[in-house]
Structures are given as C-alpha cells and as structure tokens.
Structure 1
Amino acid sequence: MSACSLNANITENLNDKVQSSNFANGKFYNDKRTPGFEWGKTWKILKRYITEPQVNTEPSAVIPVTPMLTEDLLSTEQDSVWRLGHSSMLLKISNEFVLLDPMFSERASPFSMMGPKRFHQPPISIHQLPHIKAVVISHNHYDHLDEASIQQLADRVDQFIVPLGNGADLISWGIHPEKIKELDWWQQTEISDITITATPSQHFSGRGLGDGNKTLWASYVINSPQTKIFFTGDSGYFNGFKEIGKRFGPFDLTLIETGAYDKMWSDVHMQPKESLQTHLDVKGKKMLPVHNGTFNLAFHEWTDPFDQISQLAQEKDVDLLTPKMGDRVTIHDKNQTLAWWQPLKN
C-alpha cells in the first residue's frame, strides 16, 4: 500500500479507530473546554499585528550560540540535554538520543518567504546529529512539527512518537508507518529502557483552515531508570499538571513552555508565573524554560520570558537553568547558567 493510500485510510477511519475520551465528532477537545480561534478572534489578533507597535520583539544583536560537535555528543556519558532553539531539545539519557519537537527550518510557517523567522541558526545541523532513538512531537503547529526537519530525519531515527492522529502527516512526508507510534493521553511506549508517556496538555492543533483539532496535542513524561523528565509541549495552565505530578513526580528536570504568551490566548499558552507554578505542580527539581529565544510569536519583548521567569524562580527558590542554545546541561549535576540575554537587551 502506498504512503498516500495509508494516509487517506488513517484520515477516513479516524472516527472509527479513536477511542479517546477527548475525541468526539471528528475533533479532539481539552478536558476544560477552551475558546477556539474562530474567525472573529483571529481577525482581532491579525488586526493587532497590523496596527499595534511591536517593541523589542526581536533581538537587535546576534544571539550567542554554542556550536555542538558530533564527537562531543557521542562521548558524553552523563544524562544531558541541549537546547537547539525554541522548544527543540536534544536529550541523551541511558546512552540513547531523544529529540523533542525538532524545528530546524528558517521559518515557522507554511511559506518559505514569509512568517516568523529564526533569530539564530541551530547549534548543529541535522546531518551532524548522531543516530536518534526517538523523535517526540507534542503537536502539529508549524513551530513544533516541521515538515522539512521530519523529512531530513527520516533515515536517522528509529521511532517517531506523536499524539493521536498525527501519523497521517508523517506518512505523507515519507515516514514509514512502522516507525510511527501514536499515543493518547496516559498511554506509553518503551524505547530501550526509556518509557515515554503522553500526558495531557491544554492546547489545540491545526496546520490549515480546515483541520482544526483533528489531531491531538500532548505533554510528555520521559523516564529511564536514572532520570525523569517532564516536557509540557505547548499548554495553558490547568489542573492536569497537578495530576501529572501526583502520578509521575518528582522530576529531575522540567522543560516548561515560557514564551509567546498573551492575554488573547491565555487559555492555551502560559504566563511566566503559570510556567513556574507548573514546575511546582509536577514536583520538578530543576526547571529549563523553553518556547522562547528563537521566534517572534507574540507581542511581548523577546527577553521578557527570561526576565520574568528568572525573577519568579529567585523568589520561589527554584533551580532555574537558562543555557545558551547549544550549551550542554548535565541533568544530575549542579549547573551554572548565566543571563546571556541581558547584554543583548535593546
């Protein structure tokens, strides 16, 4: 059967095969019903982008990036993580590499010549990456599920782990169906001695005008015998984080969405104070804020997520990590990271 036929079959049979309690009438829903991006709201947001002055939403100086070398990655023995940009993270745990939301393209957009453009280049190219045991995707928005990156990774990855319904896109892009594992919330899969569990988040999905919420979104618990990591993906703040902490916490490291927030979409993206509360809810030991520093996706200053979360972490005595893109963070050691964005403030 061709990839196109498989893709069509997955789409046509979605209502029949999905048993998720969050799926009804061809769409997925949050536990708490959240306002959608209907035309009226979308127009108001677009009008703001056209008329509202954007001040310091992009850096005026070069963002520092630490180049990553393949040999250094392979020789690393301690469980570690590296920020690649935005929410893209490279993890090495139990001597296996796991890649979260790989986004290596120049723009977070369906268009090559327009849309949010990167502030910096990735600290490593895809062809320089070591073999990846698993790619984990949180949801299908362009800044998290990047077609070009997935296609380039196709032969370098053993398994693609995605929320329900997202396999169809990967198949249409050339990924073999046997390499794809779809998960509902609270379902898990094992890769070597690493257990990856899809957990709830409060968000939405869609890549075009007619596919809103046709695929699921998720956060993830990534657990090995030595290390436990929580990754929010994109989410508004909700009580589900307490449940995740109750079931799986404490976590050695949390990767928490902290950026691209606004009052107009507060149900689906957290303010920094909510990001910190999420870290506390899931019982995290160290917090690394993501979803910032790479694209302009909101109206706040590009340094605001770093400034706010740093102040809040200090007040709550939270062990906060703010590495430069490409810097290695060893999960079980004490790490010292600097406020690298401060000299770049306009």
Structure 2
Amino acid sequence: MFVTVLKWLAAIIAVIGAGAYWFVSLPQMDPLMTPERKACIEASPHYVNGQFVPETPHTPVTPSWSFWKEFLFPTPGKTIPAVPMVAEKTDLKALDPQQDVVVWLGHSSFYMQLHGKKILIDPIAATYASPVPFVDKAFDGSNVYGPDDIPDDIDVMVLSHDHWDHLDYDFVRAIEPKVKHVVTGLGNGGYYEKWGYPLSKIAEEDWNTPVKIDDDLTVWVLPARHFSGRMLHRNQTLYASFAFITPDRKVFYSGDGGYDGRFKRIGDQFGGFDLALLEDGQYNENWASVHMMPEETAQTAVDLRAREVVPCHNGKYPLSMHDWDEPYKRIVAASAGKDYYLATPEIGQVVRIGDTQQTFTHWWEQMR
C-alpha cells in the first residue's frame, strides 16, 4: 500500500512538473535572448549587477493583503465598473490620414496620426492581462478594438515595456504584416523576433536614443522609472517612454513609471510638447515609485510643458485597490488652474491634437 501511494505521488509530481515546464516555456513568456542582444543589454550603463535599474532608485514595493484580495476578486462598483464601459468606436481606417489625431483604445493603447504617419502605442486586446486566464479580467465593454480594426499601413509601433497589460502576444502577432517599424527598449526586440517579426523591422534602443523613421518622423526612446518581466525573469528588458517628433508636432508618451526629475529634463530638452499621453491609474502609496499618483501626473504635464494631456493606464484592467473611476476624478481636480488642456475621451473617441476648443464629457459619471 505504501509503495502504491509513493508511485501515485511521484506520478502527480511528474505531471505537475511537466505542466509547469510547459507553461513557462510558452512563447509568450520570455524574449529570444541571442548573444548579440545580450551583449547590447550588458553594454548599457543602465544595466547594473545583472538587471536594468532606473535613474532614480525605487522605494520598496509592498502589496498588502487587501491588494491581493481585490486583484484576484475585484469588487463590482469599486475596482471594476458595475456596468459596461462607455465607448465611441471610431473607424480608424476611415480617418483622414492628414489629420493629426489620437484615439485612446483603452488602458495605455493608442492609435495616433502625426504629419501623415500612422502610429500604434502598446496595443492590447487581451481578455486577461496576466499569464493565466482567470486573473485581471478586462472591464466589460472595454475591449472595443482588435487587430482587424488596425489600419494596414502602420508606420511605427512602440512598446514601452513587456508587462502583460502592455504587450499582447496575440495582437502583436496578428498585425505583423501591417507594421513597418517597431521601436522599443533594449531586449524587447526579442519578443518580436521570436513572434515572427523580421529583424529589419525592429529597433531596440537604450534611453536617450533617437530612431529616425524617415525625414518626417523621429521616435526618441527615453527614460522611465519602472520595472520589467513577464514572469520569471525580472528587469532583463528596458522599460521606456517616448517622444514623437515631426516637423510640426511633438508628442510625449510616458509609458509606466513613478514620478521623478526626468520629466523636467525631457521638457527642457524638447522645448515642451503639443500633447502628452500620461499614466494615470493603478497607483498606490505602497508602490509609489513605479506608478504616479494623479497629482504627480498633473505635475508631470507641467514639467513637460505640455499644451494638452490625455490620461491613460486606466479604464480597462483592475491592477490596484483604488476605485476604477478615481483616476479621472483626481486628475480633473489636480488639473484645475493648470496651463495645459485636459482631454478625457471615451474609448474610441477622436482627440484632435492642438484643438483645445474640443470638449469632452465626464463620461465616468454616467456609469455610477
């Protein structure tokens, strides 16, 4: 009897081990780390003692029990809406390509047109922003756009970092024929190469590096104060923010990251921005160095000398304990009296860059 129990126990352990090995070996998990890519990473001054580190050191990240409770079992009407998200689905393919516009696709995903160029930022349509299909479910009604909705001629797609709520395996693979260039931080090109993108499309760079797409568009890879990793390997790819520079427009995208002095430096470097797409959501005092509070987002806009701001990193996934609509309320209050124009579009609503006469509702109030 004892021997039989041992055999069954060994069999169970073997099955669990095989399942775990299969799971961590899925192509979604880690980038292709070639010797050439590894050498570029190790040559970076921001790669210290075996990992990327931000310019301003992190404070300890200490999730509480209440965080894990809400993360695993979000409360309707609190961390997730009690009703479906409102949206105004614009046909991206029907937009006049000569118009400078940005369309929020939910969370931190954007479609943008600048000087005739088509730009895609951190596209995601995953039902679950996690490696397992039962954690961090998208809000009902928030998955409005998918790969089929993306125009066929994207000039450049950028990736700020490799977390599951920014890098969508299925989406990225599906749109490869539509994308001419990918710009991202060091190491992240390994995902795209592994997932079928030719190396000729991929530019993976260190901070403070310009990538010239053509004479009319340069994308700068800039610093961020965040962290990276899909599951087992942490901070082996570089998190980043971006500046998009054309002859007549300057746009900044923050990606994720805590507040520090880099925004003032970036604002000075580029002489201000026409538009800033800024993180505003999934914050908490327990991890204040990796996500900005809304009041810090407002200060970031001032530091950048932004004329217009669209907040993001909200409206789709419950990654913190704050009420799902709190980021909107706090950024509206924090923006009062500031020199920039705050635009608060619904998912899919077109924002005309530079048109500060365009009006937006407090749509989240309709959902209470």
TM-score, scaled relative to structure 1: 0.90
Instruction: Specify which of 300, 307, 318 is matched with residue 278 of structure 1.
Output: 300
Amino acid at match of 2:155: K
Distance 2:144 2:265 in 1: 35
Aligned partner of 2:195 in structure 1 is 173
Distance 2:40 2:113 in 1: 37
- Considering only aligned residues, what root-mean-square deviation do their CA atoms show, in Å? 2.3
Aligned partner of 1:24 in structure 2 is 48
Aligned partner of 1:204 in structure 2 is 227
Shift of 1:181: 0.5
Shift of 1:167: 1.1
Distance 2:70 2:145 in 1: 32
Report 1:41-190 matches (<5 A).
41=62, 47=68, 49=70, 54=75, 56-73=78-95, 75-130=96-151, 131-190=153-212
Distance 1:178 1:27 in 2: 26
Aligned partner of 1:244 in structure 2 is 266
Distance 2:189 2:60 in 1: 23
SS class of match (1:32): coil
Distance 2:279 2:261 in 1: 16
Identity %: 33
- The answer to whether 1:223 aligns with 2:248 is no
Distance 2:202 2:113 in 1: 21
Distance 2:89 2:315 in 1: 16
Report 1:286-305 matches (<5 A).
286-305=308-327
Aligned partner of 1:329 in structure 2 is 351
1:116/1:297 contact within 8 Å kept: no
Choose 1 or 2 for highest CA Rg. Answer: 2
Distance 1:47 1:135 in 2: 33
**Alpha-carbon spacing, 1:32–1:45, altered in 2? closer, same or farther (3 Å):** farther
Shift of 1:118: 3.5
Distance 2:64 2:335 in 1: 36
Q: Deviations over 1:61-88 (max 9, x none)?
A: 2211112214422x24321000000000
- The answer to whether 1:341 aligns with 2:364 is yes
Shift of 1:216: 0.6
Distance 2:37 2:207 in 1: 20
Aligned partner of 2:32 in structure 1 is 7
- The answer to whether 1:316 aligns with 2:338 is yes
2:71/2:136 contact within 8 Å kept: no
Amino acid at match of 1:197: W
- 5+ residue gaps, structure 1: none
Distance 1:219 1:16 in 2: 19
Q: Deviations over 1:34-87 (max 9, x none)?
A: 1465xxx457576554899856111112211112214422x2432100000000
SS class of match (2:331): helix
Amino acid at match of 1:82: V
Shift of 1:126: 1.4
Shift of 1:109: 1.0
- 5+ residue gaps, structure 2: 1-26
TM-score, scaled relative to structure 2: 0.85
Amino acid at match of 2:359: Q
- The answer to whether 1:259 aligns with 2:281 is yes
Instruction: Count matched residues.
Output: 335
SS class of match (1:185): coil
1:287/1:320 contact within 8 Å kept: yes
Amino acid at match of 1:204: F
Amino acid at match of 2:296: E
Shift of 1:20: 1.7
